[in-house]
Amino acid sequence: MTLAGIFAVYKKKELNEEERKRIAECAFKLKHRGPLRTIEIDSYPIEIFFHQKNHTTLFNYDKERNRLFAVDGQIYNLDTFLQKKSENYNYELQDVDINLLIKNFKEKGSEIFTQLIGSFSGVFFDGAELFGFKDPVGAKPLYYCETEEIFAFSSEFKALAPLEGTVKPVLPGFLVSSSSKIKKLYSYPNFDVKYKLSKKYIKNLLSNINNLVKLVIKDNININQNTCALLSGGLDSTIIVHIAKQYIDDLNVFTVGAKGSKDLFYAKKYAKMYDLNHDWFEISLEDLLDILPEVIYALETFDAAVIRSSLPMYIISERIKSHDRFGVVLTGEGGMSFLEVMNI
């Protein structure tokens, strides 16, 4: 998944040197989200720091009209807005016409965001207002904060906390503006609880799920980046890997687990069966305790369930990072929960 760090500020008035310095200090709390480089633009009333992890990150700025569009994540149907580049554009990381996007926004309103497909959060400035938006699932974080001087968006809570304003999350499927307007972009269907499951219906349902999972995996494989996958030995990740190896030659998979765990046993068995490049390693309780403060700082939560599952993920992510050649990691999360909800 494409990662970026966004810190965008709408200034209600000109700021003094001390206030500008504080904004910069807040913005660089997100530097870990984009170690490749940081794009800084200060064009009143907008100031943005965009921490870029790789060259596929979506950021666009039209200097002449003072308009910008920045995304943390991926938008799969971005070709809807692709246009020929203009010489007025700066820092173009993807060939998207921001003026076409804003033109459609002014004509159709927030409905245009319901047409975007992917996993993303982001901000855009149309020359008058700064907006923050998030897809309906909401996996990519985005927060906002308002003070007497500014209205700011940030990819993480910790960057806004020093501003001493009330920090709130942009909710999944919502649009928030610097004028404090909040709009719900998506309406979810009501699920039919009085249904009868015939064998034919179940077969069609499973076929649709199968096709959608394959489509999502294929959409997340970037031909411009090396892709690897996590293999826990469980159902979710094994399904993901089994499909991914059809699209990726010489697939690399990674496994972490406690000594003697069933996770390691089944992951090794599957990787050997299909001759996958398998990097596995064992961890101890001490390993988990050592990284606990770092994980809590990164997660910005004390939720025990979230922390428990994130500890091994943090370790294996560091392992993958040490290879210094993988830009995309596929992982199976939530499959069992989904099937339980669907009563399948």
The β-bridge partners of 150 are: 11
CATH of 199-341 among 3.40.50.620, 3.40.50.10490, 3.40.109.10, 3.40.50.2300: 3.40.50.620
**pLDDT (0 to 100) of residue 56:** 63
What is the spatial order of strands in the sheet that 89-90 belongs to?
Answer: 89-90, 59-62, 67-75, 118-125, 130-134, 174-177, 182-184
**Residue ranges of the chain assigned to CATH 3.40.50.620:** 199-341
d(CA 183, CA 110): 8
Residue 227 is which amino acid? T
The tens digit of pLDDT for each residue in 152-195 reads: 999 999 999 999 899 999 999 999 999 999 999 888 777 777 77
Is residue 24 exposed (0-12), middle (13-18) or buried (19+ Cβ within 10 Å)?
Answer: middle
Mean pLDDT to the nearest integer, 201-210? 91
The verdict on whether omega for the bond into residue 189 sits within 30 degrees of 0, i.e. cis, is no
How would DSSP label each residue in 274-301?
Answer: TT-EEEEEEE-HHHHHHHHHHHHHHHT-
Which of the pair, 109 or 58, is modelled with greater confidence? 58
Average pLDDT over residues 318-335: 84
pLDDT band at 339 (very low <50, low <70, confident <90, very high): low
pLDDT (0 to 100) of residue 129: 94
Architecture category of domain 4-184 in CATH: 4-Layer Sandwich (3.60)
Q: What is the pLDDT of residues 229-243, one digit of tens each?
A: 999 988 899 999 999
